[in-house]
């Protein structure tokens, strides 16, 4: 899975180092040396990680623009770099990571790897895998309803059932993950339903082993696409 990044800098020596590191992390790199052009590009393109050189003229205004509410929700996480006397406070810039110039390759690899892992964790947390397998829904020990699973995420699943379920009603779900021998069981509740028999179900409690199996399975589906 290739991610995208943008480096906002005109320090070509440092940019060359970053391009090598980001390439090794399977991240495409776009370079902009004018903050205004970088903002215009962010408005048109999805960028997974943004690296800003605080020594660049106009970078302070650029970072203020990024701080505007809902302006660039896709440009995260933000990484800043610069000489010690120019680098701004992390909280003030909204950056999650920072490193000094001149770039230490070891420090940059560590920082950018952490940023990449954060991006992937965020994607996997909300990724929904489509699949069609039977799922059992139990409102009580004596009532078990068969439904059809439509999609699945770390936080819950969508199913189709002709049975009526009340929203916020607790229930037990049980199904098998394709390609595994693991039976997923979880305590859950109905978050929403529509007139066509679709139900959104939120997990409330999943055993640690089942949660890990689910995370690994979803990651395999995500990277296979």
pLDDT-derived band of residue 84, with 50, 70 and 90 as boundaries? low
Looking at residue 122, what is its pLDDT?
A: 78
pLDDT-derived band of residue 77, with 50, 70 and 90 as boundaries? low
DSSP 24: H
Looking at residue 225, what is its pLDDT?
A: 64
* CA quadruple 21, 23, 29, 31: dihedral sign: positive
At 183-216, the pLDDT tens digits run 899 999 999 999 899 999 999 999 999 998 998 8
**DSSP H or E run through 198:** strand 198-206
Q: Is the pLDDT of residue 90 over 70?
A: no
Per-residue tokens: 72:
């660039």
Strand intervals (E) in 22-64: 27-32, 49-53
Of 11 and 127, the structure prediction assigns the larger pLDDT to 11
In the chain, where the domains are located: 3-126, 129-224
Looking at residue 60, what is its pLDDT?
A: 85
Q: 129-224 maps to which CATH number?
A: 2.40.10.220
**Which residues on neighbouring strands pair with residue 51, listed in sequence order?**
7, 79
Superfamily per CATH, domain 3-126: Response regulator (3.40.50.2300)
Looking at residue 89, what is its pLDDT?
A: 58
pLDDT-derived band of residue 73, with 50, 70 and 90 as boundaries? very low
Per-residue tokens: 28:
């495409």
Total-model pTM: 0.65
Q: Can you give the length of the chain in residues?
A: 225
Q: Encode burial over 62-99: b for 16+ CB neighbours within 10 A, e otherwise.
A: bbeebeeeeebeebbbbbbbbeeeebbeeeebebbbbb
Q: Is residue 216 within 8 Å of residue 177, measured between CB atoms?
A: no
> What are the Cα distances from residue 166, in Å, to 163, 177, 201, 205?
10, 26, 11, 19
Looking at residue 69, what is its pLDDT?
A: 46
Residues 6+ apart with CB under 8 A from 46: 4, 74
């Amino acid at each position: 899975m290739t991610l995208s990044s943008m480096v906002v800098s005109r320090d070509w020596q440092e940019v060359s180092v970053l391009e090598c590191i980001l390439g090794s992390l399977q991240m495409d790199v776009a370079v902009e040396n004018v903050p205004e052009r970088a903002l215009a590009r962010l408005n048109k393109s999805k960028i997974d990680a943004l690296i800003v050189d605080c020594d660049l003229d106009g970078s302070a205004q650029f970072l203020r623009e990024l701080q505007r509410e809902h302006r660039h929700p896709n440009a995260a996480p933000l990484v800043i770099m610069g000489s010690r006397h120019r680098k701004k406070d992390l909280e003030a810039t909204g950056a999650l990571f920072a490193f000094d110039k001149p770039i230490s390759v070891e420090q940059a690899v560590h920082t950018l790897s952490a940023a990449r892992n954060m991006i992937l964790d965020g994607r996997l947390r909300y990724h929904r895998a489509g699949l069609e397998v039977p799922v059992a829904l139990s409102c009580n020990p004596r009532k078990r309803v068969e439904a059809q699973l439509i999609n699945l995420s770390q936080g819950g699943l969508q199913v189709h059932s002709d049975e009526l379920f009340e929203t916020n009603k607790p229930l037990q779900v049980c199904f098998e993950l394709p390609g595994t021998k693991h039976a997923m069981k979880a305590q859950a509740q109905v978050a929403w339903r529509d007139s066509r028999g679709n139900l959104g179900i939120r997990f409330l409690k999943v055993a640690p082993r089942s949660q890990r199996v689910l995370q690994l399975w979803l990651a395999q589906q995500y990277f296979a696409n």
